[in-house]
Amino acid sequence: MKEGLVRIQRENFSISDEVERVKAVSKGIGGVVVFLGAARDFSKGEVITGLDFEHYPGMAEKKLKDIRERALENFDIIEMSIIHRTGKIDIGEDIVLIVAASAHRNDAFMACEWAITELKRTTPIWKSETTQGGDVWVSETP
């Protein structure tokens, strides 16, 4: 695996840099699909003023690497990158990025959609939303 394709980090990331990192793997890439998750200001009827993400160190990275490896095995893609931020994130900031690359677009779309669904289902990353009534832990992830 090319270094840095799967990361958990506090700092923001550059979408264009990550796309170029994936594209650099092969000249056979003809389609690149990007999923970008961003912090929104409204959820479940509540105004959200900020987010805070925590993760299980070591285990979360292992799960993301597993998701990438399974995507490469089960979909006809050439490469995939997965980055998730932790810590305090302001409204409008980027949270998660998945870049899937393949010879043809459909394979990249399917792999990208599967990867974000699997990430939210299995990765030990937890989100706390700051609302007017206080902080609320969201139970969409394990």
Each residue's pLDDT tens digit, 81-97: 999 999 999 999 999 99
Each residue's pLDDT tens digit, 38-64: 999 998 888 999 999 999 999 999 999
CATH 3.10.20.600 fits 6-138, yes or no: no
Domain ranges of the chain: 6-138
Instruction: Give percent of the chain with pLDDT exceeding 70.
Output: 96
Strands 46-55 vs 31-38: parallel, antiparallel or unpaired: unpaired
DSSP assignments along 103-139, one per residue: SSHHHHHHHHHHHHHHHHHH--EEEEEEETTEEEEE-
